[in-house]
Amino acid sequence: MTARQQFIATLFLGVAFLVLFRQLDLTSYHIGLMMRCMILMIVTIGLNILIGHAGLVSLGQAALYGLGAYVAAWLAAKQGVQFLPAIIAGVVVTGVFGAVLAYPPFGCAASIWRSSPSRSDWCSRTFWSNGCR
């Protein structure tokens, strides 16, 4: 099965699931349980791409996932923000925080790798003392 056929089959199954989901008379408990399962499926797909395909081991994904969930829950529970804006704010805060964390290794890679005498202490010696140039 080609990648295009897999995509079409997945899309078809997703649409069939949504049509079936609308026909069922589910309680709020079942809907909440299904939402939790779907969120964890998204995290699992991300881990599969990160660990399975890229071969990287990272706990940063879990930290960013937790940050986004915390921000969304705090906005919804404590600040009275509606669900969708709280989720969007959680995604935005997580994206900004992830970009801030990714800036030193990617934004300053050339100056760090050029000026660091030993590659093992590049972070403490070059980035924090000289900054990005």
pLDDT tens string 51-96 = 777 777 777 778 888 898 899 989 988 998 888 888 899 999 999 9
Same structural domain for residues 3 and 48?
A: yes
Structure-block tokens of residue 42 = 């998204």
Please identify which residue in the block is written with the tokens 């609308």: 22
Same structural domain for residues 39 and 14?
A: yes
Structure-block tokens of residue 36 = 């939790």
Which of 26, 58, 90 finishes a domain?
58
Predicted local distance difference test score (pLDDT) of residue 96 = 92
Single-letter residue type at 88: I
Same structural domain for residues 68 and 130?
A: yes
> Taking the chain, what is the end-to-end CA distance rounded to the nearest angstrom?
49
Which of 58, 82, 97 finishes a domain?
58
- Tally of domains within the chain: 2
Which among 50, 67, 55, 52 is positioned nearest to 101, based on CA atoms?
Answer: 67
pTM surpassing 0.75? no
List alpha helices for 28-82, DSSP H: 28-47, 60-77
Predicted local distance difference test score (pLDDT) of residue 108 = 56
Same structural domain for residues 72 and 108?
A: yes
Same structural domain for residues 130 and 83?
A: yes
* 129 has pLDDT over 70: no
